[in-house]
């Protein structure tokens, strides 16, 4: 009888602790490099027309200290490099469909997404955690005379593996890859305008410093930073 009572008590304690243990496990997993974060499906329509987004497009350098939703971040990522048709066509054109761009998200104030550095995977529309923690201020210090970006809720960073395009076009890759970035960046501008958000494209930064913050592999070169937030 005593053994049965003890077993019952232990079972009850384990059962009551299960939600707590599960939450600890999940919270811990959120900061484990390599963890995959599913993103909300991108919208294919919205309340603002393309013409209205073009009319509202501008470079924003003052952000309110507000958080953005995970859906906002997902929509921006999809606009930049998401798949919009099978088998792998993307929202932004690429020379010869070589797709040299790699897109990174530095999240600081994104609801339902822990602060950290993430790599976007277009094919599966998800994120892979590269590094936990808020790296926004560290990234801002890599830019030249642009402290205004500090209040951005998130940053999109474009890097490129030139070899993907050079394998097909040789030296012309030095011209074509920057074009890819321009196409993708304009998509982000327009998507931000459609979401009543603000952004601008930063090209003045120390390449080696950005590579260090992002932990880029040697084959990738940073090409542009886009801070995003609610306009002040």
Q: For the chain, which residues score pLDDT lower than 70?
A: 1-30
3-state secondary structure of 130: strand
> The whole model's pTM is what?
0.86
pLDDT at 64: 96
168 close to 98: Cβ distance less than 8 angstroms? yes
Quickly tell me which residue has 């390599």 as its tokens. Answer: 34
pLDDT at 159: 98
Choose among 13, 32, 33: nearest CA to 21: 13
pLDDT at 53: 97
Residues 196, 213: Cα–Cα separation, whole Å:
29
pLDDT at 31: 75
pLDDT at 23: 32
Structure tokens at 127: 């994120």
Encode pLDDT of 2-46 as tens digits.
444 444 433 344 434 433 333 333 333 457 999 999 999 999 999
- Strand runs labelled E in 153-200: 154-160, 198-199
Structure tokens at 152: 């951005």
pLDDT at 143: 93
Q: Residue 43 has what DSSP assignment?
A: P
3-state secondary structure of 10: helix
Residues 123, 89: Cα–Cα separation, whole Å:
9
pLDDT at 181: 98
Could you give the maximum distance between any two Cα atoms of the chain, in Å?
A: 82
Choose among 50, 134, 39, 128: nearest CA to 83: 39
Q: How many helices (H) and strands (E) does the chain have?
A: 7, 10
CATH C-level class of 34-231? alpha beta
CA angle 228, 203, 99 (to 5 degrees): 80
Quickly tell me which residue has 């932990």 as its tokens. Answer: 215
pLDDT at 5: 43
Strands 101-107 and 154-160: antiparallel
pLDDT at 128: 98
* CA–CA distances in Å: residue 206 to residues 49, 141, 152, 192: 37, 9, 19, 26
Q: Which residues neighbour 110 within 8 Å (Cβ) at sequence distance 6 or greater? A: 67, 68, 69, 70, 72, 73, 153, 154
In the chain, where the domains are located: 1-30, 34-231
């Amino acid at each position: 009888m005593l053994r049965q009572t003890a077993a019952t008590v232990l079972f009850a304690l384990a059962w009551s602790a299960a939600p707590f243990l599960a939450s600890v496990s999940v919270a811990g997993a959120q900061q484990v490099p390599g963890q995959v974060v599913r993103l909300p499906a991108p919208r294919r329509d919205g309340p603002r027309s393309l013409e209205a987004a073009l009319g509202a497009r501008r470079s924003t350098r003052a952000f309110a200290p507000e958080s953005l939703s995970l859906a906002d971040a997902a929509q921006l990522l999809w606009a930049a490099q998401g798949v919009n048709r099978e088998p792998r066509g993307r929202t932004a054109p690429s020379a010869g469909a070589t797709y040299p761009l790699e897109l990174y998200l530095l999240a600081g104030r994104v609801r339902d997404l822990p602060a950290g550095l993430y790599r976007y995977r277009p094919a599966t529309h998800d994120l892979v955690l590269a590094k936990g923690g808020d790296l926004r201020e560290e990234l801002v210090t890599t830019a030249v005379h642009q402290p205004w970006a500090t209040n951005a809720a998130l940053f999109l960073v474009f890097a490129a593996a030139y070899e993907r395009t050079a394998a097909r076009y040789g030296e012309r890759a030095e011209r074509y890859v920057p074009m890819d970035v321009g196409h993708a960046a304009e998509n982000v501008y327009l998507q931000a305008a459609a979401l009543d958000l603000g952004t601008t494209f930063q090209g003045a930064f120390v390449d080696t410093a950005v590579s260090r913050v992002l932990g880029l592999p040697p084959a990738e070169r940073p090409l542009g930073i886009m801070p995003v937030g609610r306009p002040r």
